[in-house]
């Protein structure tokens, strides 16, 4: 059976993606690092609707934790494989660059960029052997245009776009697609500290997006109908450029 792994799947966009993929009939592995309560609630919601979900705790910035967690999962699922990977885990540590501390830079890149590398590398061999895989990386409007106060975040999300385009070409012969989704302002824990009333004036459609809207796009890219779409970056931002 083919499973989907959603990193940072307990809240916000990750939670919506996990729920949406389960609605498409894909068993979901919900990764989390700290908030077990939120992860458990997401799992319960999926199961209540008749879907299948499991929890898998590891820190995407720690390759040893990834190895241990996925080794254990594969040992428990000898006949299954993770054929859909949504690299959603990310953090913000906003600051003007002149004031930015080393750890504010490093932690953001470790989670978003290194997390993509460690997790994807670990799962890629099985996808290539099966000649089947969908990888969707959650980038950001910040990675497309850059936003002041987010040099670290913009750098990590922009690098993720470059990695998406390169990896897509490497694995296309094995029927694996790699795409990126770049949300703008979306209602989530990541944006709850932002001034929505002010910022939504910058959005042509006049509102923040909903996590479920991003999840619908991710689910399409993870499906069979998207087999000819790879190496693409799709913005979902209410018309912001």
* Of the options 3.40.50.720, 3.40.630.30, 3.40.190.10, 3.10.20.30, the CATH number for the domain spanning 2-236: 3.40.50.720
Query: Domain coordinates of the chain in residue numbers?
Result: 2-236
- CB burial of 129-150 (b: ≥16 within 10 Å; e: otherwise) equals eeeebbbbbbbbbbbbeeeeeb
Residue of 32, 153, 228, 241 marked catalytic: 153
**DSSP 3-state assignment of 136?**
strand
pLDDT digits (tens, 9 = 90+) for 51-73: 999 999 999 999 999 999 999 99
Mean pLDDT of 216-237: 97
Residue 118 is a catalytic residue? no
Closest CA to 11 of 219, 192, 233, 154: 192
Q: Is pLDDT of 215 > 70?
A: yes
pTM of the prediction? Answer: 0.95
- Indicate the average pLDDT of the chain: 95
- Range 96-101 average pLDDT: 98
């Amino acid at each position: 059976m083919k499973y989907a792994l959603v990193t940072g799947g307990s809240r916000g966009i990750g939670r919506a993606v996990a729920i949406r993929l389960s609605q498409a009939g894909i068993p979901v592995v919900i990764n989390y690092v700290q908030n077990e309560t939120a992860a458990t609630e997401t799992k319960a919601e999926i199961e209540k609707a008749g879907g299948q979900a499991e929890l898998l705790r590891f820190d995407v910035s720690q390759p040893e934790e990834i190895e241990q967690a996925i080794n254990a999962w594969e040992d428990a699922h000898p006949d299954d494989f993770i054929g859909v990977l949504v690299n959603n885990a990310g953090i913000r540590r906003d600051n003007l660059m002149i004031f930015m501390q080393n750890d504010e830079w490093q932690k953001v890149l470790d989670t978003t960029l290194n997390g993509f590398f460690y997790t994807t590398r670990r799962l890629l061999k099985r996808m290539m052997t099966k000649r089947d895989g969908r990888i969707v990386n959650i980038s950001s409007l910040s990675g497309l245009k850059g936003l002041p106060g987010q040099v670290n975040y913009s750098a990590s999300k922009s690098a993720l776009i470059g990695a998406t385009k390169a990896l897509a070409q490497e694995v296309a012969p094995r029927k694996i697609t790699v795409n990126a989704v770049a949300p703008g302002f979306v209602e989530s824990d990541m944006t709850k500290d932002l001034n929505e009333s002010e910022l939504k004036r910058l959005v042509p459609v006049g509102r923040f997006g909903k996590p479920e809207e991003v999840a619908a796009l991710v689910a399409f890219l993870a499906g069979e109908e998207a087999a000819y779409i790879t190496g693409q970056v799709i913005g979902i931002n209410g018309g912001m450029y």
